[in-house]
Amino acid sequence: MEENLRFAMAWWHNLCATGVDMFGAGTADKTFHAEPGTMEHAKAKVDAGIEFMQKLGIKYYCFHDADIVPEDPVDINETNRRLEEITDYLLEQTKGTGIKALWTTANMFSNPRFMNGAGSSNSADVFCFAAAQAKKGIELAVKLGAQGYVFWGGREGYETLLNTDMKLEQDNVAQLFRMARDYGRKIGFTGDFYIEPKPKEPMKHQYDFDAATAIGFLRKYGLDKDFRMNIEANHATLAGHTFQHELRVSAVNDMMGSVDANQGDLLLGWDTDQFPSNVYDTTMAMYEILKAGGLRGGLNFDAKNRRPSNTPEDMFVAFIVGMDTFALGLIKAAALIEDGRIDSFVKERYASYETGIGKEIREGTATLESCAAHAAALKAPADPGSGQQEYLEGVVNNVLFASSC
Ligand code: XUL
Ligand code: CO
């Protein structure tokens, strides 16, 4: 289970976010007895994070540059110096604990300079700032032994096409990825680069809309050997897909990478980043992951407590429920695979492609003429057979709840 469930703590939600929303101030105290905005506070967060992870047996963490140190308002050299200082401290404090980075990333969406995007900004100066942050972020991935480096294209998209050169913006995003890949490989980063698809929020439209769009983009620009998907459950539902769908698209394209483990609220139209508690969803997610041979990355809880759940105890409970929900999902996914009824149904459903004209179609030797001749020779109407969806849903219930249906 440990191998299949590499859980990670998201620095930003757990150690930084206080519950501020559009209508009100924070409700949770994340000062950890230090003054926010100082390096003392940055270190206090490291101490608190390590204590938290150790108490829960969590071995990985993920962060944006801006989560771990206060950014200097004008000088990126000073910010980078702070990043070195805090990661030295992090390495020192985690020595012998087995705790390490799963992935790192750069926050290229909060600072006002990124209001029109980062790699897709209309300003070349802003593009260079994004490049500088990505450069440092990749250096930190190497320093901390992270398996991945993530690009979530928070503001890589548009508010209106009236002011947007979409082709240039997308070409430039690809240039940023190419530069990151080349620099990473040059300095010895052997892990995966990840794209984290999301259709909207904060922008009206984001270029990494969903896995299919992001994979097409990577292939167009020849980046598909170095980049994979980091699939987030709540982003999937925002795109009008299930979490399982996004994982399946990644798997069938050999792009399965890592997961941002959370859940959304289907009645709300935004990214609620809730801790996972839906066993159905985690079962179907782990089913896809197991069938794809496991994750190269892990399960990062990109999730936050609800604003009224504002005590440290709530933080622990949220992680425990999230981990248990994925653990149960893993057990049930393995049971579904062992049960075999779904697999054998699917195999039988496509059996017409095992022999004859179906086999020729599959192998690419059939032609439009040979298929037409096959159709002309059929004396009965072609019958694809029942999809038996209700039966299969009953199989899932049966395995999950040992029900009789
Ligand atoms: C935002 C989101 C990010 C990424 C990392 O929706 O998911 O936190 O995971 O930038
Ligand atoms: Co995420």
Condensed to tens digits (0 to 9), the pLDDT of residues 232-259 reads: 999 999 999 999 999 999 999 999 999 9
Query: Residue 203 pLDDT > 90, yes or no?
Result: yes
Distance between CA 368 and CA 176 in Å, rounded? Answer: 43
Q: Helices 243-252 and 211-220, interaxial angle, to 10°?
A: 30
Query: pTM value?
Result: 0.97
What confidence tier does 381 reach under pLDDT thresholds 50, 70, 90? confident
pLDDT over 70, % of the chain: 99
**Catalytic residue (one of 13, 64, 241, 245):** 64
Ligand 2 center to 270 CA (angstroms): 13
Q: What is the mean pLDDT of residues 87-108?
A: 98
Give the ligand 1 atom nearest the CA of 107: 10
For residue 383, count other CB atoms closer than 10 A to its CB. 6
- Predicted confidence at residue 40, as pLDDT, reads 98
Q: Does residue 64 sit in helix, strand or coil?
A: strand
CB 174 within 8 A of CB 224: no
Whether 226 is catalytic? no
Q: Which of 102, 105, 114, 152 most suits a substitution to test ligand 1, by most atoms within 8 Å of the C-beta? A: 152
Query: Residue 405 pLDDT > 70, yes or no?
Result: no
Whether 41 is catalytic? no
Ligand 1 binding pocket includes 208 (Cβ within 6 Å): no
In 3D, which of 333, 325, 299, 134 has the Cα closest to residue 231? Answer: 299
- Predicted confidence at residue 291, as pLDDT, reads 98
Query: Residue 403 pLDDT > 90, yes or no?
Result: no
Six token digits for residue 248: 């399946």
Q: Sketch out the chain's domains with CATH numbers.
A: 7-320 (3.20.20.150), 341-401 (no CATH)
Q: Whose alpha carbon is nearest atom 3 of ligand 1?
A: 152
Distance between CA 65 and CA 147 in Å, rounded? Answer: 16
Ligand 2 center to 262 CA (angstroms): 9
What confidence tier does 382 reach under pLDDT thresholds 50, 70, 90? confident
Query: Residue 357 pLDDT > 70, yes or no?
Result: yes
Which residue has tokens 């003429």?
A: 369
- Cα 367-371-376 angle, rounded to 5 deg: 145
Q: Is the dihedral of CA 223, 141, 147, 322 positive or negative?
A: negative
Q: Does residue 328 sit in helix, strand or coil?
A: helix
Ligand 2 center to 304 CA (angstroms): 11
Ligand 2 center to 260 CA (angstroms): 5
- Predicted confidence at residue 317, as pLDDT, reads 98
CB 194 within 8 A of CB 257: yes
| Segment 39-97, tens digit of pLDDT | 999 999 999 999 999 999 999 999 999 999 999 999 999 999 999 999 999 999 999 99
Ligand 1 binding pocket includes 65 (Cβ within 6 Å): no
Work out the mean pLDDT of the chain and round it to a whole number: 97
Q: b/e for 239-257, b at 16 or more Cβ within 10 A?
A: bebebbbbbbbbbebebbb
CB 172 within 8 A of CB 120: yes
